[in-house]
Chain A
Amino acid sequence: MDWKPVALSAESRDQSWYEASARARLAGLLDVDTFQEFIGPEQRQMSPHLPLFALPRAFDDGMIVGRGRLDGRDVLAAAQEGRFMGGAFGEIHGAKLVGLLRAALAVKPAAVLILFDTGGVRLQEANAGETAIAEIMRAITQVRAAGIPVIGLIGGRAGCYGGGGLIAGTCAHLVISEGGRLSVSGPEVIETNKGAEEFDSRDRALVWRTMGGKHRRLLGAADAFVADTIGAFREAALAAIPEAPSFDLATLEAEQARLEARLERFGDTRDATEIWGRLGVNDPAAVPSLTTEGFDALLDSLPEGSHHAR
Chain B
Amino acid sequence: MEKLSFRHTTRTALPGTRASAITGVVASGNLEVLLERNLAPDACHVEIDTAIKGYAEVWAAVVADFVARRQPGGLTITINDGGARPDTVSLRLAQGARLMELP
| A40 to B21 alpha-carbon distance, docked (Å) | 10
Q: Is the CB of B34 within 8 A of A84?
A: no
- Residues from chain B with Cβ under 8 Å of A51 in the complex: 1
Interface residues in A35-75 by Cβ distance below 8 A to B read 40-42, 51, 54-59
Q: Is the CB of A41 within 8 A of B26?
A: no
Q: Is the CB of A55 within 8 A of B80?
A: no
Q: Is the CB of A42 within 8 A of B36?
A: yes
Is A306 in the interface zone, CB < 8 Å from B? no
Is A83 in the interface zone, CB < 8 Å from B? yes
Q: Is the CB of B25 within 8 A of A57?
A: no
Q: Distance in Å from the Cβ of A47 to the closest Cβ of chain B?
A: 11
Q: Distance in Å from the Cβ of B39 to the closest Cβ of chain A?
A: 14
Is A81 in the interface zone, CB < 8 Å from B? yes
- Residues from chain B with Cβ under 8 Å of A81 in the complex: 25
Is A21 in the interface zone, CB < 8 Å from B? yes
| A40 to B36 alpha-carbon distance, docked (Å) | 12
Interface residues in B10-34 by Cβ distance below 8 A to A read 20, 22, 25-27, 30, 32, 34
Q: Is the CB of A56 within 8 A of B26?
A: yes
Q: Is the CB of B50 within 8 A of A56?
A: yes
Q: Give the size category of A's interface with B.
A: 10 to 19
Q: Is the CB of A57 within 8 A of B49?
A: yes
Q: Say yes or no: A54-B1 contact (C-beta < 8 A), given A81-B25, A83-B25, A83-B30.
A: yes
- Residues from chain A with Cβ under 8 Å of B78 in the complex: 59
Q: Is the CB of B25 within 8 A of A56?
A: no
Q: Tell me the total A-B contact number using a CB cutoff of 8 A.
A: 43
Q: Distance in Å from the Cβ of A39 to the closest Cβ of chain B?
A: 13
Q: Is the CB of A56 within 8 A of B80?
A: yes
| A85 to B30 alpha-carbon distance, docked (Å) | 12
Q: Is the CB of B34 within 8 A of A59?
A: yes
- Residues from chain B with Cβ under 8 Å of A54 in the complex: 1, 51
Q: Is the CB of B26 within 8 A of A57?
A: yes
Q: Distance in Å from the Cβ of B60 to the closest Cβ of chain A?
A: 19
Q: Is the CB of A41 within 8 A of B22?
A: yes
| A85 to B80 alpha-carbon distance, docked (Å) | 13
| A232 to B20 alpha-carbon distance, docked (Å) | 30
Give B66-103 as 1s and 0s: 1 = Cβ < 8 Å from A's Cβ atoms: 00000000000010111000000000000000000000
State which of B1, B20, B25, B36 has its C-beta within 8 Å of the C-beta of A58.
B25
- Residues from chain B with Cβ under 8 Å of A84 in the complex: 25-27
- Residues from chain B with Cβ under 8 Å of A59 in the complex: 22, 32, 34, 78, 80
- Residues from chain B with Cβ under 8 Å of A42 in the complex: 20, 34, 36
- Residues from chain B with Cβ under 8 Å of A41 in the complex: 20, 22, 32, 34
With CB as the reference atom, state the residue of chain A lying closest to B53: A54
With CB as the reference atom, state the residue of chain B lying closest to A56: B51
| A21 to B22 alpha-carbon distance, docked (Å) | 12
| A40 to B22 alpha-carbon distance, docked (Å) | 10
Q: Distance in Å from the Cβ of B99 to the closest Cβ of chain A?
A: 11
With CB as the reference atom, state the residue of chain A lying closest to B22: A41
> Can you identify 27 A-B contacts, CB atoms within 8 angstroms?
A21-B25, A41-B22, A41-B32, A42-B34, A42-B36, A51-B1, A54-B1, A55-B51, A56-B1, A56-B49, A56-B50, A56-B82, A57-B26, A57-B80, A58-B25, A58-B26, A58-B32, A58-B80, A59-B22, A59-B32, A81-B25, A83-B25, A83-B30, A84-B25, A84-B26, A84-B27, A85-B26
| Chain B residues close to A by CB (< 8 Å) | 1, 20, 22, 25-27, 30, 32, 34, 36, 49-51, 78, 80-82
| Chain A residues close to B by CB (< 8 Å) | 21, 23, 40-42, 51, 54-59, 81, 83-85
